[in-house]
């Protein structure tokens, strides 16, 4: 079943209930003041306790050049491009979430609203990506904020009514699922398989992919037939534009392939190794 198919009202309600149960189980209790999730903190404590650093060669100078100037991206090694991509791929989401949280801090947040979990998960995404780079020897990196068209678009996204923004959010989540899947596989190809740090980095990217797949299924359940039709109309133009804005991704991957995979997104997408851990979007479909 395509992710762009419209769900019935019953399926949408069931998805939302099931997703809330799922994130409660996966994330543990949120601490709203600290902006943390219990199980995620436990995961991080474990990851950070293993203090080993990657032993292989890392193109650090290329990485910094690529972070400074998009023009450098084209002529550098794939590992350099990959690292830039890791550094920049959660920029957009983290920018939107920061803005949304700043706007809503005064209101009390709801522990029975999946959005609460989705937003807090984004902090861990940024943290996992930065920690991956740290393991490769790049520490003290600050994420830069999006610029240009991306920034304008994301600001609009954070501020517009949810009914409208969910259309764009779904497009963003679909694009994200494909990108993080590609990023994980590329990491497995480029990093030394015998180095234990590689397994740690790949596991963090899997965690991210598992989360994003859930976000996608959840956002989809918030859209009725009219807005789903809008999503279908916008996807072929909009998704490649989003990828184009992620310059390291555009240098490392084929935009056409990423876009094709995104447009073909369905509920069978999760690779076997993570299937047991992803949100089961199929289980909540009404039997016909």
Closest CB 206 distance from Fe ion, rounded Å: 13
Burial class (CB in 10 A: 0-12, 13-18, 19+), 136: buried
Q: Is 206 in the site for Fe ion (CB under 5 A)?
A: no
Closest CB 169 distance from Fe ion, rounded Å: 8
Q: Which of 50-58, 121-129, 195-203, 265-273 is the region at the interface with Fe ion (rule: CB under 5 A)? A: 121-129
Q: Which of 2-10, 73-81, 85-93, 151-159 is the region at the interface with Fe ion (rule: CB under 5 A)? A: 85-93
Task: Please give the Cα distance from 33 to 53 (Å, whole number).
Answer: 32
Judged by beta carbon, residue 62 or residue 93, the one nearer Fe ion is: 93
Closest CB 187 distance from Fe ion, rounded Å: 16
Q: Give 123's contacts (C-beta < 8 A, 6+ positions apart).
A: 35, 36, 94, 97
Judged by beta carbon, residue 125 or residue 184, the one nearer Fe ion is: 125
Query: Binder to Fe ion among 72, 93, 181, 206 (CB under 5 A)?
Result: 93
- How many Cα atoms are found within 13 Å in the side-chain-facing hemisphere of 30? 22
Closest CB 249 distance from Fe ion, rounded Å: 14
Give the pair of three-digit tokens for residue 48.
């950070």
Q: Is 26 in the site for Fe ion (CB under 5 A)?
A: no
Nearest to 182 by CA among 253, 279, 256: 253
Closest CB 176 distance from Fe ion, rounded Å: 6
Give how far Cα 228 sits from Cα of 7, 23, 177, Å. 9, 24, 18
Helix (H) or strand (E) holding 185: helix 162-190
Q: Which of 22-30, 74-82, 196-204, 213-221 is the region at the interface with Fe ion (rule: CB under 5 A)? A: 213-221
Closest residue to Fe ion: CB criterion: 215
Closest CB 122 distance from Fe ion, rounded Å: 5
Judged by beta carbon, residue 58 or residue 177, the one nearer Fe ion is: 177
Closest CB 127 distance from Fe ion, rounded Å: 11
Neighbours of 52 (CB within 10 A): 10
Judged by beta carbon, residue 184 or residue 215, the one nearer Fe ion is: 215
Q: Which of 21-29, 76-84, 155-163, 212-220 is the region at the interface with Fe ion (rule: CB under 5 A)? A: 212-220
Give, as one character, the DSSP assignment of residue 283. T
Query: Binder to Fe ion among 125, 127, 186, 220 (CB under 5 A)?
Result: 125
Judged by beta carbon, residue 126 or residue 198, the one nearer Fe ion is: 126
Judged by beta carbon, residue 60 or residue 155, the one nearer Fe ion is: 155
Closest CB 61 distance from Fe ion, rounded Å: 28
Query: Binder to Fe ion among 215, 222, 247, 261 (CB under 5 A)?
Result: 215
Q: Give 112's contacts (C-beta < 8 A, 6+ positions apart).
A: 20
Phi, psi of 36, rounded to the nearest 5 degrees? -135, 165
What are the helix (H) ranges across the chain?
A: 9-27, 38-49, 60-68, 78-88, 91-104, 114-135, 148-159, 162-190, 196-220, 225-245, 247-252, 255-263
State the Rg of the chain over Cα. 18
Judged by beta carbon, residue 62 or residue 211, the one nearer Fe ion is: 211
Both ends of the chain: CA-CA distance in Å? 14
Give the pair of three-digit tokens for residue 85.
């991509």
Positions in the binding site for Fe ion (CB under 5 A): 93, 125, 212, 215
């Amino acid at each position: 079943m395509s992710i762009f198919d419209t769900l019935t009202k019953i399926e949408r309600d069931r998805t939302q209930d099931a997703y809330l149960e799922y994130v409660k189980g996966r994330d543990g209790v949120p601490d709203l003041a600290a902006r943390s999730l219990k199980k995620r903190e436990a995961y991080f404590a474990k990851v950070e306790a293993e203090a080993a650093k990657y032993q292989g060669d890392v193109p650090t100078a290329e990485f910094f050049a690529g972070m400074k100037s998009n023009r450098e991206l084209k002529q550098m090694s794939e590992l350099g491009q990959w690292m830039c991509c890791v550094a920049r791929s959660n920029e957009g989401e983290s920018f939107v979430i920061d803005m949304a949280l700043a706007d809503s801090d005064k209101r009390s947040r709801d522990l029975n609203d999946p959005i609460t979990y989705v937003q807090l998960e984004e902090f861990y995404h940024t943290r996992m990506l930065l920690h991956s780079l740290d393991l490769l020897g790049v520490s003290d990196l600050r994420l830069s904020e999006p610029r240009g068209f991306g920034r304008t678009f994301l600001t609009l996204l954070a501020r517009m009514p949810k009914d409208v923004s969910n259309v764009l959010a779904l497009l963003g989540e679909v694009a994200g699922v494909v990108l993080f899947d590609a990023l994980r596989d590329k990491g497995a190809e480029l990093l030394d398989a015998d180095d234990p740090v590689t397994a740690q980095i790949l596991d963090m990217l899997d965690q991210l992919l598992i989360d994003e797949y859930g976000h996608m299924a959840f956002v989809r359940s918030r859209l009725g037939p009219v807005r789903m039709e809008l999503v279908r109309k916008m996807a072929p133009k909009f998704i490649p534009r989003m990828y184009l804005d992620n310059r390291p991704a555009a240098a490392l991957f084929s935009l056409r392939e990423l876009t094709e995979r995104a447009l073909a997104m369905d509920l069978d997408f999760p690779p076997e190794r993570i299937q047991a851990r992803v949100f089961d979007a199929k289980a909540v479909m009404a039997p016909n």
